[in-house]
């Protein structure tokens, strides 16, 4: 880059810097995705159960028994299994404050 700038090729140097920034953003996105996948696998191994999606909730299955439901937002964003509370026909998350109707429709 310095050589390009010294040779008066500032526009070309800026284009290369922009390309490097795009690459670093793409690599960061890939890293975050891989970290999420690792966390998901760690949860499954640590709980010796299967985490699965049955809209609009996540559930655990252990020896054929369904456990949950767990908050979609908390799991999708942070891989945290936060059990929802059943409060008068609503499922409520204490961590992110999302609520879901009993039939599964998200309610804000």
Per-residue pLDDT, 103: 59
* 32 alpha carbon, distance to own chain's centre: 9
Shortest CA distance to 49 belongs to which of 69, 34, 71, 64?
A: 64
Over the chain (108 residues), the average pLDDT of each successive run of 10 is 82 90 94 87 70 88 85 89 89 93 58
Per-residue pLDDT, 60: 86
How many of the other CB atoms lie within 10 Å of CB of 62?
A: 11
């Amino acid at each position: 880059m310095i050589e390009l700038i010294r040779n008066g090729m500032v526009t070309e140097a800026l284009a290369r810097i922009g390309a490097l920034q795009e690459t670093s953003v793409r690599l960061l996105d890939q890293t975050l995705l891989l970290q999420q996948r690792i966390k998901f696998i760690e949860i499954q191994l640590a709980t010796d159960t299967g985490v699965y999606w049955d809209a609009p909730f996540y559930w655990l299955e252990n020896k054929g028994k369904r456990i949950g439901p767990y908050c979609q937002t908390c799991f999708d964003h942070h891989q945290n299994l936060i059990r929802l509370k059943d409060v008068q026909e609503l499922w409520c998350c204490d961590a992110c404050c999302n609520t879901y109707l009993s039939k599964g429709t998200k309610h804000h």
